[in-house]
Amino acid sequence: MVCTSLSHLLYNLNKDCKMKTGICTDHGGYALKKIIHEFLIKVGYEVVDFGAFKQDDDDDYPDFVIPLARAIADKEVHRGIAICGSGVGASIAANKVAGVRAALIQDHFSAHQGVEDDDMNLLCLGGRVTGFASAQELILAFLKAEFSGAARHLRRLQKIKQLENK
């Protein structure tokens, strides 16, 4: 079943869920990350914060995104959320780590479909272009989605893994 509203997602959120979720940002998403971090805890997720821990206009997104991506690849966290100014840089950096399937997401359908079909494990958001209510909806759709495991999707993921192993 596809959830179609934020209230429906919140209602169906498993209160016993303690999915370990990583989060990171650079200066471009610092304000949004602070709000999202608190929100995730409130709705029952265990949050591992990879920084930034203060607003610093001279910081660089790879310094935060790469440790989060490695934690996902090493299965230290189940999924992750990376925020930078537009979300583009975070997505580019994260996808350099084998085993990470990151995407910049700006709509509800892609937030869950990316997990269901492509086993996306890192959601990228733009701190300068994504409002809190939208971020909240996208994050819940992403975290509540499950990979379908359909043969065609497994076949496609195997082709990506072969590229990572070259």
As a whole number of angstroms, the distance between CA 6 and CA 131 comes to 14
Of the candidates 3, 24, 84, 124, the residue annotated as catalytic is: 84
As a whole number of angstroms, the distance between CA 8 and CA 2 comes to 10
Any catalytic annotation for residue 24?
no
Continuous H helices in the chain: 6-12, 30-42, 62-73, 88-94, 108-118, 132-144, 151-164
Assign 164 to helix, strand or coil: helix
Active site residues: 84
